[in-house]
Amino acid sequence: MAEKLKRPLLLVGCGKMGGAMLEGWLASGIAAAGAYVVEPFGADAFANRRDVTVVSSVEELPADLSPQVIILAVKPQAMSAVVGAYAKFATPDCLFVSVAAGTTISFFEAELGPQAAIVRAMPNTPAAVGQGITVICPNAKATAQQVADADILLQAVGETARIEDEALMDAVTGVSGSGPAYVFFMIECMAKAGVDAGLPEDLAARLALQTVAGAGHLARQSDDTPDQLRRNVTSPNGTTQAALDVLMADDGLQPLMTKAVAAAANRGRELAG
């Protein structure tokens, strides 16, 4: 079992990402000291749990609450209207973890005070099934133990990685934060291509979904690199090679993916102002 927090955690925002993370924390036992959720639009899935207290605003939290970790999981566009109310918790022994895309550490330091210990994190939606990956970047005030606490929390919903240069977080967003949507769209495109080739719609959808899911699982389990796995399934002058000649052309998938990731990264920088 993962190491348990000694004091409660406080989750601000309980949408799909926040809810997925909270499910992981409760299941793993990390939140053994209890969890508080501030969610004005309801968190029905947790409302009847004895180990979770759901309130609609920060004013409804107990006056003596001393959270060990505060997770900020509201949308980036709403963060400036929300975060200032939590400055009262910004003591050296309270860690703030933000999962808001494009919202910088310097923004939180300005809102919470220069003494605030902050870890900026970029998770992705496979966290909902415990298969996410989250990249974290701490500020100078976060202690080694607090960074370890953030790592333990985020490992409850998948893998973690750490960067020291916050400027890389926009590229992380472009690859892994937004990346699941690219894969889902690829499934859509493969299914549509199958229909265009004459397959029934339900069969094309099933083939596309299981092929992507199975290929991803194989890539995780195999000792071979994706490049080698691609070569393993590609016979010279065969059907796969014919398709790859299109996908690997100068105007094929790679330049399109590079452009897509760059667009996401640029949008992250725009959100940061």
Residue 4 maps to a domain = no
Residue 247 maps to a domain = yes
**Binding-site annotation: residue ranges for NADP(+):** 73-76
Under-70 pLDDT residues of the chain:
1-2, 42, 273
CATH code for the domain of 196:
1.10.3730.10
Residue 225: the pLDDT is 98
Co-location of 32 and 143 in the same domain: yes
Residue 2: the pLDDT is 56
**Binding-site annotation: residue ranges:** 73-76
DSSP codes, 5-52:
PSS-EEEE--SHHHHHHHHHHHHHTTTTT-EEEE-TT--GGGTT-TTE
Co-location of 120 and 198 in the same domain: no
Residue 194 maps to a domain = yes
Q: Rounded CA gap, 182 and 65, in Å?
A: 41
Using alpha carbons, select from 153, 154, 104, 164 the residue that is nearest to residue 133.
154
Residue 229: the pLDDT is 97
Question: What would the two tokens of residue 111 be?
Answer: 């809102």
Residue 1 maps to a domain = no
Structurally, how many domains does the chain consist of? 2
Residue 54 maps to a domain = yes
Co-location of 68 and 139 in the same domain: yes
Residue 106 maps to a domain = yes
Place of tokens 């003494």: 115
Residue 42: the pLDDT is 67
Of 115, 145, 169, the last residue of a domain is: 169
Question: What would the two tokens of residue 63 be?
Answer: 């006056």
Co-location of 250 and 184 in the same domain: yes
Residue 1: the pLDDT is 40
Residue 16 maps to a domain = yes
Containing structural domain, residue 202? 179-272
CATH code for the domain of 150:
3.40.50.720
Of 110, 145, 169, the last residue of a domain is: 169
